[in-house]
Amino acid sequence: MAKSYNRRFRKNGLSFMVQDTHPADRKTDTDKYYLTVNQNGIYKIVYDNITWEIPKFPTIHAAQFWALTSSDFIGTM
């Protein structure tokens, strides 16, 4: 997967979209984006199956890289 700043991308047959985090949900200034995945036509929030947390990212590319490296541990709400 090439470095890209597109909010929508595909990996391992899944369709992802990076969305902006609401200001009230940011714990730090770097929690700007979160990841969603398309399931049955609806984008659902992604969480980490190991820590049960919604990962938040400082950049769109960081979200794409996390999806690339952690695709085996992705769950949806």
pTM (two decimals):
0.79
Three-state secondary structure string covering 16-37: EEEEECCHHHCCCCCCCEEEEE
Confidence category of residue 13, pLDDT binned at 50, 70, 90: confident
CA atoms of 73 and 70, how far apart (whole Å): 5
Q: Please check the confidence at residue 72 and state whether its pLDDT lies above 70.
A: no
Q: Please check the confidence at residue 53 and state whether its pLDDT lies above 90.
A: no
The dihedrals phi and psi of 5, each to the nearest 5 degrees, come to -115, 25
